[in-house]
Amino acid sequence: MDWQQEYKDLWDLSKKIRTYDSILALLHWDQETYMPSGSITPRSEQIALLSSLIHEEKTSHKYKTHLEKLVSLSTGKPHAKGLSKKQLVATREWRKEFLRVEKLTPAFVKTFSQTTSEATQIWAIAKKTNNFKLFAPFLEKIVGLCREKAEAYGYTEHPYDALLEYYEPCVNTAKLGAIFDKLQTELKHLIKKIGSKKQVDDRFLKHDVKDAKQMELAQLILSKLPIESGYSRLDLSAHPFSTALHPHDSRITTRLLPKAFMSNLFSVLHEAGHSMYEMGLSTEHFGTPLSEAVSLSIHESQSRWWETLIGRSLPFWEHFYPLLQKEIPDLKKVSLERFYRAINKVEPSFTRVEADEVTYCLHVALRFEIEKELISGHLQVVDLPEAWNAKMKEFFGIAPPTDTLGCLQDVHWSLGDFGYFPTYALGNLFAAQFFSTFSKKHPDWEKQVAEGNLSFIREWLKKNIHEWGRTYDAEQLAKKVTGKTLCETAYCTYLKKKYKDIYEL
Amino acid sequence: MDWQQEYKDLWDLSKKIRTYDSILALLHWDQETYMPSGSITPRSEQIALLSSLIHEEKTSHKYKTHLEKLVSLSTGKPHAKGLSKKQLVATREWRKEFLRVEKLTPAFVKTFSQTTSEATQIWAIAKKTNNFKLFAPFLEKIVGLCREKAEAYGYTEHPYDALLEYYEPCVNTAKLGAIFDKLQTELKHLIKKIGSKKQVDDRFLKHDVKDAKQMELAQLILSKLPIESGYSRLDLSAHPFSTALHPHDSRITTRLLPKAFMSNLFSVLHEAGHSMYEMGLSTEHFGTPLSEAVSLSIHESQSRWWETLIGRSLPFWEHFYPLLQKEIPDLKKVSLERFYRAINKVEPSFTRVEADEVTYCLHVALRFEIEKELISGHLQVVDLPEAWNAKMKEFFGIAPPTDTLGCLQDVHWSLGDFGYFPTYALGNLFAAQFFSTFSKKHPDWEKQVAEGNLSFIREWLKKNIHEWGRTYDAEQLAKKVTGKTLCETAYCTYLKKKYKDIYEL
């Protein structure tokens, strides 16, 4: 048997699927950026068709046969001889992915795609008109489908485990619950301490900055980040996102809020972090798991890295603030220190996406608790708004005046993405862990960043995280890079130190 | 046999293919508009993969079996009973298309797609650097592939017939030659007469108009055209084009030349003409030939209709010129009459796309003669520049100073689109024929257009042309609408009358 040829054959099949995935990504990107508003129906049909094709290809007899030549599906023991370490990793991950995908029937995939496509449109209207009742029957269907999905994937403890695993395989509900418990205690304590201090004045961040100027600023910041030109682009969409068709075609979007110009810049930094991860994946192994992100948590660690650890740091603005002041003359009378405190102001708020670093993870913990209950059936969809508001009261001491600002705020549930939210918090934890190692390796990072030098950061991320693809799972990667497994300590230490200085705690 | 169900089954397969085609159209659109420049290689792979899939689906055993249930492939006689007239039309066209597509092997389709994808990139460099030699080997390959294609399709007289048929089935090389001969005589005569008159002053059309203002003007004109909002959009690309993913998603592009602002506006009118045709196709029958354009000639008749017959007419500018003057104050001192003469100035030029209405078809006739010779082997690729320049001298009395302005000017050959150019001329002929009937039906059209009312024009086009899809071929459609078959007379009459007034012949 020519094992190299066998490997190559499976790779070809896998690359074909990855290429279809890229095309699907373009359909989604276009829908959110430039698609004429009246063509949502044909677009849904295009997406459903391509999604079905991808599922067919992933579960085809041909694919299975090729995979089984390389590895035993039941035990995971490789049959192939003489494969390199990297090839063994790819084979291992191909098998894992196949076993997962195979559990869903084509009919289920189609129903799921159609239901969520319809639900997303309804959700947008419901959010706009603060009409939870309109969305409720769709959400009920989706919760039902997610339960079905959990049953199909299988689990030992909690049905939510099965959903969680899709986005972050290295944790389960119990482990996550324990981490969130500790995190909540620490965060609530920190919030309380901050709350007793004088509030930060951030009124100057609410200046009206015109769209064109906001886009100029976004492009200015992007041009100073260590990103290869020609492989990326920035556009506008209702909600910022990033998508990669290939390491050489990695796109981001932002949105412009007239009275919150920093929101746009932090979105750009966030999405650029995702984008740099995708651009840092191997082109040589494109089409194999060696050229894929580890998990959504690790992806989020990269976006939060650039948005918060770098992008909300003092040295970053030592370099960028003078540039910003040049573009927004009103800021000339505001000192760097005041600006720095303002962009790091901590206060309870209704929405996750605009939350500060300290309260952010509480928003996620809230969703985690609600998702678990919805999936287990302990919470009914009809009771969601009440449960949401009660939890808001419990976590933040405030309740949203509308469902638009409450349980309707995020798109994820309409997309059927139950199990996704926790990765937003885990991303912060991983990022802080990585950063702790990085800053020991580069003790002069603040000085360098203050001089506008950011390339060494990307090089470190590439070498330690991006280039490995799926060689390690999230926890193994953390262990390899930092010597420690997943843990909230680094994040809490980081927050406590940062906000001690800002709020003089 | 449930014939309605059988019809429905074939329609489903056809709709699937049409949906893949839509996705392919998006890949092309994105490549020309927003794709990061560095991702041409992955994009070529995406396009090649999807093109292969489409060819597979079009020639699949399943498709053939379903088609054969409805109709005899050899005789074209329907087996199905009780189909409506429209369904019989769809079945007839499905068969025709199948017989054509089936003649190409998957390997050929793949080679063709890869070769032309590579060649298009090389052509762009060759054009930019005036380096025909760089492009020549690729063009040679493509001519060879087109000959192969002609052999595969089959022909009785000239191999060029087989290529022509793909773009315009209602003509062959001989018939086209006869039409072009008569057209050339008429046009050359008209050009000579015009040449003896005082040249028109159009220097004021070369004012520098900024990009942003040019886009505003384009959007202004689009907003006044009878186009449904929400189904279309305008973007920028190196060369203007139009593409439709669906009647509800029909996109156009334009380009901005700093010292030729009218070029942009005429491009917009041209592409909007294509776009309105696509938007006028049936959504009810989407996925069948009843919702497809007749041919490229008829498509071009719609674009030239809006660009020239309407867009370069005096009444059109009676309405729009004051709006233009408001936006470009320098035009305030130029009378409508001078402006009208300037936008209709006739002069020999090197490039087709910027040619006036009188010389335009000569550019096409030139390419027709060269294509025939290349395909038949009477002209070698290496001799192309010389042959081109000699023909330019013969047709226009001028020879281009560079190949960039000569045989490298158009993208079509790099795309393998031999047989496409003639439809540019035929579009003008059909348009003039249609217009002659239209203006009899609406003798007050000039008055209405001068008042800015354009809806009745689109209604007429919809009812007479768009809504029929492929019910008739181009010539049958002309006969149905105008009572006459394809002929150059209406076009020549139109030109002679128009330019008699302008040049006081």
User: DSSP string spanning A231-270?
Assistant: SEEEEE-SS--EEEEETTEEEEEE---TT-HHHHHHHHHH
Among partner residues B41, B249, B286, which is closest to A35 by beta-carbon distance?
Answer: B249
Q: Is B242 helix (H, G, I), strand (E, B) or coil?
A: strand
- Interface test mutation site (partner A, options B20, B34, B39, max chain A beta carbons within 10 A): B39
Q: DSSP letters along A366-390, please?
A: HHHHHHHHHHHTSS-GGGHHHHHHH
Over the stretch B84-137, which tens digit does the pLDDT of each residue have? 999 999 999 999 999 999 999 999 999 998 899 889 989 999 999 999 999 999
Residues written for chain A: 505
Q: Which of residues 386-405 of A touch B (CB under 8 A)?
A: none
Mean pLDDT score across all residues of chain B:
97
Q: How many Cα atoms occupy the beta-carbon half-sphere of B425 within 13 Å?
A: 28
User: Which residues lie closer than 8 Å to A168 by C-beta, 6 or more apart?
Assistant: A295, A296, A297, A422, A423, A426, A474
- Residue A87: the pLDDT is 98
Residue A324 contacts B, CB cutoff 8 Å: no
Chain A (237-276) residues lying within 8 Å, Cβ to Cβ, of chain B:
245-246, 248-251
Q: What is the mean pLDDT of residues B246-268?
A: 96
Calculate how close chain A gets to B251, using CA atoms only, in Å: 9
Q: Do A46 and B23 touch (CB under 8 A)?
A: yes
Structure tokens belonging to residue A413: 């549930």
Mutate to test the interface with B, among A12, A13, A34, A243 (most CBs of B within 10 A): A34
Nearest-CA neighbor of B172 among B181, B180, B182, B162?
Answer: B162
DSSP A71: B
Cα–Cα dist A159/A376, whole Å:
7
Considering only the beta carbons, identify the residue of B20, B49, B249 that sits closest to A39.
B249
pLDDT at residue B197, as a whole number: 94
pLDDT given at position A262: 97
Closest CA to A379 of A354, A352, A400, A407: A407
Which residues of chain A register pLDDT less than 50? Answer: none
**Nearest residue of A to residue B13 by CA position?**
A49
pLDDT of B415: 95
| Tokens 């980040």, residue located | A225
C-alpha distances (whole Å) from A90 to each of A72, A288, B98, B442 are 14, 6, 41, 69
Cβ under 8 Å to B: A residues 41-80: 41-43, 45-46, 49-50
Q: DSSP string spanning B44-103?
A: HHHHHHHHHHHHHHHT-HHHHHHHHHHB-TTT--B--SS--HHHHHHHHHHHHHHHHHTT
- Please check whether residue A212 touches B, CB under 8 A: no
Residue with tokens 């953390």: A478
Question: In this structure, are residues A277 and A465 in contact, taking their beta carbons and an 8 Å threshold?
Answer: yes
Give the integer Cα–Cα distance in Å for A461 and B372: 58
User: Is pLDDT at B270 greater than 90 in this prediction?
Assistant: yes
Q: Which of A93, A165, A271, A357 is catalytic?
A: A271
With an 8 Å Cβ cutoff, is B232 touching chain A?
yes
Instruction: Compute the distance between CA of residue A237 and CA of residue A28 in angstroms, rounded to an integer.
Output: 11
Query: Using CB atoms, which residue from B27, B229, B246 is nearest to A23?
Result: B27
Tell me, letter by letter, the H, E, C secondary structure of A175-196: HHHHHHHHHHHHHHHHHHHHHC
Domains of chain A as residue ranges with CATH: 3-166 (no CATH), 173-503 (1.10.1370.30)
B404, B466 Cβ separation under 8 angstroms: no
**d(C-alpha A297, C-alpha A427), whole Å:** 5
Token look-up 């130190």 returns A497
Nearest to A42 among B41, B42, B246 (CB): B246
Residue A103: both structure tokens together: 């559990």
**Chain A positions in Cβ-Cβ contact with residue B27 (cut-off 8 Å):** 23, 26
Q: Is-contact B222 B234, C-beta < 8 A?
A: yes
Helix B3-33 and helix A3-33, axial crossing angle in degrees, nearest 10: 80
- Is B165 annotated in the active site? no
B483 shares contact with chain A (CB less than 8 Å): no
What CA–CA distance (Å, rounded) separates B170 from A480? Answer: 69
Edge-to-edge strand ranges of the sheet holding B232-236:
B232-236, B249-254, B242-246
Which residues does chain B have within 8 Å of residue A45's beta carbon, measured at their own beta carbons? 19
B49: chain A residues, CB-CB within 8 Å: 16, 19-20
B35 touches chain A (CB under 8 A): yes
Backbone phi, psi, residue A471, to 5° = -55, -40
- Check: complex ipTM more than 0.85: yes
Model pLDDT, residue B349? 95
> Which chain A residues touch B36 with a CB distance below 8 Å?
230-233, 248-251
Contact A36 B235 (CB under 8 A): no
Best CA proximity match to A416, nearest among A118, A157, A24, A191: A118
Count residue pairs from A and B with Cβ separation < 8 A: 94
B278 touches A: beta carbon within 8 Å: no
Q: For residue A280, what are its two tokens?
A: 């840092």
Verify whether the Cβ–Cβ distance A245 to B34 is below 8 Å.
no
* Residues of A in Cβ contact (< 8 Å) with B38: 228-231, 248-249
CA distances from B150 to B109, B153, B175 (A): 13, 5, 18
Tell whether B30 is within 8 A of chain A (Cβ).
Answer: yes
pLDDT of residue B229: 84
Chain B interface, mutation test: which of A110, A210, A222, A245, most B Cβ atoms within 10 Å? Answer: A245
Do you know the residue count of chain B?
A: 505
Q: What is the pLDDT of residue B114?
A: 87
The token duo for B209 is: 């108009």
SS (HEC) of A295-354: CHHHHHHHHHHHHHHHCCCHHHHHHHHHHHHHHCHHHHHCCHHHHHHHHCCCCCCCCCCC
Whether A38 contacts chain B with CB within 8 A = yes
Residue B49 has pLDDT above 90, yes or no: yes
In chain B, the N- to C-terminal Cα span, in Å, equals 68
In chain B, residues with a C-beta closer than 8 Å to the C-beta of A286 are: 42
Neighbours of B183 (CB within 10 A): 21
pLDDT > 90: what percent of chain B?
97
Q: Which of B271, B300, B371, B475 is catalytic?
A: B271
Neighbours of B226 (CB within 10 A): 15
Q: Do A42 and B245 touch (CB under 8 A)?
A: yes
- The nearest CA of chain A is from the CA of B140 a distance in Å of 30
SS3 A442: coil
What pLDDT does residue A289 have? 98
| Secondary structure letter of residue A128 according to DSSP | H
**Helix, strand, coil share of chain B (percent; to 5):** 70, 5, 30
With an 8 Å Cβ cutoff, is B443 touching chain A? no
- The conformation of residue A157, written as its DSSP 8-state character, comes to S
Q: How confident is the model at residue A276, as a pLDDT?
A: 98
What CA–CA distance (Å, rounded) separates B336 from B343?
A: 11
β-pairing verdict for B249-254 and B242-246: antiparallel
Question: Under an 8 A CB cutoff, do B39 and A231 touch?
Answer: yes
CA distances from residue B141 to A128, B118, B318, B413 in whole angstroms, order as listed: 56, 11, 50, 11
Residue of B nearest to A233 (CA): B36
Chain B residues whose CB is inside 8 A of the A233 CB are 34, 36
Instruction: Say yes or no for a CB contact (<8 Å) between A34 and B34.
Output: yes
pLDDT of residue B485: 95
Q: Nearest-5° angle of CA A377, CA A378, CA A379?
A: 90
> CA-based diameter of chain A, in Å?
74
Q: What percent of chain B has pLDDT over 70?
A: 100
Which helix (H) or strand (E) segment holds residue B250: the answer is strand B249-254
Does residue A20 belong to the interface with chain B, where contact is any CB pair within 8 Å? yes
Concatenate the DSSP letters of all residues of B17-34 into one string: HHHHHHHHHHHHHHHHHT
Residue B248 is nearest to which of A23, A34, A38, comparing CB atoms? A38
Chain A residues near residue B30 by CB distance under 8 angstroms: 26, 30
